[in-house]
Amino acid sequence: MKISIVGAGIGGLTLALALHRAGLSKDLRLFEAAPEFKPLGVGINLMPHAVNALTGLGLLDNLRAVAVEPRQIGYYTHHGQLIHNEPVGRSAGYHVPHFSIHRADLHKLLLDAVHARIGPDAVVMDRTCTGFDENEQGVDLTFDDSQGNSLVERNDVVIACDGIHSAIRRQLYPGEGPPRFQGINMWRGVTRMEPYLGGDTVVRVGALFRTGKLAIYPIRNDIDADGRQLVNWVAETADDHAAPIDWSAPGKLEDFYDLFENWTFEWLDCAKMLRDADTVLSYPMVDRDPIDRWVFGRVALLGDAAHPMHPRGGNGGAQSILDAIELARCLADSPDIPSALQAYQEARLATVNALVLRNRSEPPDVIIEKVEERTSGQRFSRIEDVMSVSEIDELINGYKRAARYDMKTVSG
Ligand SMILES: Cc1cc2nc3c(=O)[nH]c(=O)nc-3n(C[C@H](O)[C@H](O)[C@H](O)COP(=O)(O)OP(=O)(O)OC[C@H]3O[C@@H](n4cnc5c(N)ncnc54)[C@H](O)[C@@H]3O)c2cc1C
């Protein structure tokens, strides 16, 4: 079976490793538009569902070597008042960790594994897919390279892992407009700093539309002799104009700092963390409306090409990893390619489409929105008077079940 994967991001590389594990990598290649890999973006959280899948691909030690393993997550108001704190990963009883990791470290470990297991030529760089033609002989993919050459590649099966700007999705859905912007921009950066809250805490502070919001977590330990950490942060602010949809688009501190300049809490001086950042990048909060088909004969969409979602639940990358595992399993189980791809779509589409919508309306940090709304942005005396334990539990655990990282699903 000749398999081509378009796009060597998180989804494409994981798919290649899953196909290799299933014994389907003999005639497999990935085609990547970028002429070379550069470290892009900043941090990413991998919850137990994603880590469980990567552990199955033999990558647990590789992850542990570069990532931070958080023990807990805390939700705070913009006054720095704790609303809810809970253990994560192994501290919460999962058999696998939760990891917070630099996106470049994750990408490198996946790429290194593809090179080591499938071969140094498995990823063909500088191939921008421009479209495909599905015919009786198979699927012909067309590519441009940076020298102005056009190339055609014939395949038995093509998996589009080419992200939110997917060229293959564009051909399948020609009337679809640009990604959907909901009036929120994200300013993202990393700061070298002393560990806060024990050095193992993921934090969400503030309500997006009322006060601005910060998501903060460490992504590298012991970066110098003083034991400092590299800490990732994302500042989310309401905005009429979307930032460019580009992982490496630069941002400026002055574009968002005034919302956060008084966020100096006893457990973390957020304002100083923002001022001390190494780099600031920008990215808009965008997704696309769910579609009811990812599979067209011998062509399938996977990851952000199929279901780009708001990152408020930290799940887009994880879902592309779960897609990859499922797709490889289906291809290994059925000799008939179109049926195998249909089985993949049946296993994944409804769940992930529902998650795309839930990320718009009820991501886990909706608890902060609700508390800020009920207190009109004032300090509270007792959180129980504002939100009950069972309401918090239902909102957070409901999200985990929807995203498939509740304990029962991950251990089952
Ligand atoms: C601010 C932010 C924070 C996030 N945090 C998290 C998080 O904590 N946890 C989580 O799980 N997810 C998170 N996500 C989501 C996650 O980053 C994405 O869902 C994930 O990167 C999708 O992987 P992918 O492989 O589908 O696409 P991508 O990672 O975008 O990879 C697509 C690849 O295809 C290549 N490509 C594009 N077009 C072509 C073409 N025409 N031909 C050939 N190659 C092409 C690209 O160069 C790229 O290498 C976050 C996203 C954002 C914006």
Please determine, for residue 95, whether its predicted confidence score (pLDDT) is greater than 90: yes
The predicted structure's pLDDT at residue 210: 80
Question: Does the beta carbon of 303 sit less than 6 angstroms from any atom of ligand 1?
Answer: yes
Question: Does the beta carbon of 7 sit less than 6 angstroms from any atom of ligand 1?
Answer: yes
The predicted structure's pLDDT at residue 147: 95
Nearest-CA residue for atom 9 of ligand 1: 314
Among 5, 37, 44, 400, the mutation site with the greatest number of ligand 1 atoms within 8 A of its Cβ is 44
CA 50 – ligand 1 centroid, Å? 15
Mean pLDDT of 329-342: 96
How many residues in the chain?
412
CA dihedral 175, 171, 103, 37 (to 10 degrees): -140
Task: Using DSSP, state whether 109 is helix, strand or coil.
Answer: helix
Output the CA–CA distances (angstroms, integers) from residue 373 to 206, 209, 297, in the order listed. Answer: 11, 10, 48
Please determine, for residue 85, whether its predicted confidence score (pLDDT) is greater than 90: yes
Question: Does the beta carbon of 111 sit less than 6 angstroms from any atom of ligand 1?
Answer: no
Question: Does the beta carbon of 304 sit less than 6 angstroms from any atom of ligand 1?
Answer: yes
Nearest-CA residue for atom 37 of ligand 1: 162
The predicted structure's pLDDT at residue 54: 98
What is the per-residue pLDDT across 11-23, written as a single tens digit (0 to 9) for each? 999 999 999 999 9
How far apart CA 142 and CA 125 sit, in angstroms, is: 14
Share of the chain above pLDDT 70, in %: 100
pLDDT bin (cut points 50, 70, 90) of residue 39 is: confident
Question: Does the beta carbon of 167 sit less than 6 angstroms from any atom of ligand 1?
Answer: yes
Output the CA–CA distances (angstroms, integers) from residue 318 to 14, 257, 270, 389, in the order listed. Answer: 10, 30, 27, 28
What is the per-residue pLDDT across 216-262, written as a single tens digit (0 to 9) for each? 999 999 999 999 999 999 999 998 899 998 888 999 999 999 999 99
Please determine, for residue 279, whether its predicted confidence score (pLDDT) is greater than 90: no
pTM over 0.95: yes
Nearest-CA residue for atom 48 of ligand 1: 9
Q: What is the atom index within ligand 1 of the atom nearest the CA of 186?
A: 1
CA 100 – ligand 1 centroid, Å? 16
The predicted structure's pLDDT at residue 247: 80
